[in-house]
Amino acid sequence: MSARPTSTAALEAHVAGRLTAIDAAKAKWWTAEMQNRAIDTCLQLHGGYGYMQEYEVARAWCDARVTTIWAGTNEIMKEVIGRDLGLGEPRP
C-alpha cells in the first residue's frame, strides 16, 4: 500500500485546519513505515554495496532511519493511535 494517499489526505486536512493529532500520528507512522520498508528492500537489492556511504542507497537508508524518530517515535505514534481506538489504558 502506498503512503501517498495518507500523506495527501493529511496535508489537505492540515491546510483546511482540520488535521487532528490522531490523524497526524496515523499519517506520520504510516509514511515512515512505508519509507523504511521500501529503503530496506532497496538495501537488500544492492547487497554489500548498500552499506557503503559512497552509494546513494546507503545515504538514503541513513536518512530514512531518522523518520521513525523525529516528531515522536513510531512507537509513541502507535500508543496515541491505540488509545484513540480504546486499546489499553494510558500509562501513568
Whether residue 16 is predicted with pLDDT greater than 90 in this model: the reply is: yes
How much is the mean pLDDT over the chain?
83
pLDDT band at 33 (very low <50, low <70, confident <90, very high): confident
Please name the residue that has the C-alpha cell 537508508.
61
Q: What pTM was estimated for this model as a whole?
A: 0.73
Neighbours of 77 (CB within 10 A): 22
Burial of 29 (0-12, 13-18, 19+ CB in 10 A): buried
Please give the pLDDT value at position 2. 66
Reported as a single tens digit per residue, the pLDDT across 48-85 is 887 888 888 888 888 888 877 776 787 788 888 888 88
**pLDDT value of position 92:** 65
DSSP 3-state of 18: coil
Q: What residue type is 35 in one-letter code?
A: Q
Over residues 17-22, the mean pLDDT reads: 90
**Rounded mean pLDDT, 28-52:** 87
Please tell me the distance from the alpha carbon of residue 87 to that of residue 63, in angstroms, as a whole number.
32
